[in-house]
């Protein structure tokens, strides 16, 4: 009887398990664009309300003929230098998968938009709660004669019509498979006792 009760509890724990990866639409706006006069600090205030984690993703939506999004260094973010970005996205449906902790900087790739506050800084904490220092981008010391090497911070851009439904489907499928396996194991163990 105790085994069946344990299996019953396990079953409901698996059903109620939360998915700990979120897809955030940047700014919770209809589009990644210049801030409005009614909310000029939207991209400064928006990330302060959230806690980003490894596994989360940022979705930038915008008309591809009118805008783009780039990931830049802290220095480029502060000076609105849009030359030599770390990543450049211009498909209008840009999804960035967060794969490591750190502080990350984004701005519009359109000249003049960064100066008008279309830029975003997010902090992603490590599992131990620490915030790693950002890597030094660019050559230094013995590497002065070589091009800078940038770490892979975000995963590749998904292809296909609906990246969010695809990743959501994979997560849901994993949860359901875990539930089915848990029920089968409990049934087998319960029958043996």
The enclosing domain of 79 has a CATH number of 2.60.40.420
What angle separates helix 163-192 from helix 2-16, to the nearest 10 degrees?
Answer: 180
Structural domain contains residue 84:
yes
pLDDT at 141: 33
Gap between the Cα atoms of 172 and 160, Å rounded: 19
Residues of the chain with pLDDT under 70: 1-19, 134-180, 182-193
- Please say whether the beta carbons of 57 and 98 come within 8 A: yes
pLDDT at 177: 60
pLDDT at 71: 98
Structural domain contains residue 167:
no
Rg of the Cα trace of the chain?
Answer: 22
Gap between the Cα atoms of 147 and 128, Å rounded: 33
pLDDT at 45: 95
Structural domain contains residue 191:
no
- Please say whether the beta carbons of 137 and 148 come within 8 A: yes
Domain span at residue 125 reads: 20-162
pLDDT at 27: 82
pLDDT at 136: 56
- Classified as helix, coil or strand, 107 is strand
pLDDT at 147: 35
**156 half-sphere exposure, CB direction, 13 A CA radius:** 3
Cα 21 to chain centroid distance, Å, stands at 8
What does the buried/exposed string (b/e) look like for 40-68 if buried means 16 or more CB atoms within 10 Å of the residue's CB? Answer: eebbeebbeeeebeeebbbebbbeeeebb
Other Cβ atoms less than 10 A from the Cβ of 154: the count is 19
Structural domain contains residue 139:
yes
pLDDT at 191: 66
Secondary structure E strands in the chain: 23-25, 57-61, 69-72, 87-89, 93-97, 102-108, 119-124
Number of domains in the chain: 1
Structural domain contains residue 79:
yes
Note the pTM of the prediction, 2 decimals.
Answer: 0.64
Structural domain contains residue 179:
no
Structural domain contains residue 80:
yes
pLDDT at 127: 86
Structural domain contains residue 107:
yes
């Amino acid at each position: 009887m105790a085994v069946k009760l344990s299996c019953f509890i396990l079953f409901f724990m698996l059903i109620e398990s939360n998915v700990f990866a979120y897809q955030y639409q940047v700014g919770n706006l209809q589009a990644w664009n210049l801030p409005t006069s009614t909310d000029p600090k939207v991209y400064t205030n928006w990330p302060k309300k959230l806690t980003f984690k490894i596994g989360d993703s940022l979705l930038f939506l915008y008309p591809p003929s009118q805008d783009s999004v780039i990931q830049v260094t802290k220095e480029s973010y502060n000076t609105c230098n849009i030359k030599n970005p770390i990543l450049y996205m211009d498909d209008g449906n840009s999804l960035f998968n967060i794969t490591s902790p750190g502080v990350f900087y984004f701005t519009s790739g359109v000249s003049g938009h960064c100066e008008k506050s279309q830029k975003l800084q997010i902090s992603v904490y490590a599992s131990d709660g620490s915030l790693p220092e950002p890597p030094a981008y660019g050559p230094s010391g013995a590497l002065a004669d070589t091009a800078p090497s940038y770490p892979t911070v975000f995963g590749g851009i998904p292809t296909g019509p609906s990246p969010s439904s695809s990743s959501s489907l994979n997560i849901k499928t994993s949860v359901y498979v875990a539930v089915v396996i848990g029920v089968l194991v409990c049934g087998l163990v319960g029958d043996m006792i």
